[in-house]
Amino acid sequence: MKLHTKETVKEAGDQEVVTTTSQFDDEAKELCATGVDSAFHLYNEIGADFARHVSTVLSQQRPDLHEEFRARPKKG
């Protein structure tokens, strides 16, 4: 299912950054081998760590989106 999602998203163009979760290390490796920008091992890192991970991926691959997101007022 996740591999199909990657193919569908990439058909829309190369502007997207695709990050996903995986339950197993071999699944993460397989997803990255197909061109997923980042696979996050679900059981190794959760919650705030995932947010930091996505932030890092965006800062490296789409700095324009990363700066836009950081400039937004924080809720709460």
Query: What's the chain's Rg over C-alpha atoms?
Result: 13
Q: Which helix (H) or strand (E) holds 51?
A: helix 48-61
* 20-65 residue pLDDT tens: 888 888 888 888 887 778 887 777 767 778 788 888 988 998 888 8
Residue 56, in any domain of the structure: yes
Q: What is the pTM of this model?
A: 0.48
- Tally the domains of the chain: 1
Tell whether 76 is covered by a domain.
no
Res 22: pLDDT: 86
- Name all contacts of 14-21 with Cβ < 8 Å and 24+ positions apart: 17/57, 17/58, 17/61, 17/62, 17/65, 19/53, 19/54, 19/57, 21/50
The C-alpha atoms of residue 24 and residue 28 are separated, in whole angstroms, by 6
For residue 75, what pLDDT is reported? 75
Q: For residue 32, what are the domain limits?
A: 2-71
pLDDT at 24: 85
The DSSP H or E segment spanning 38 is strand 38-41
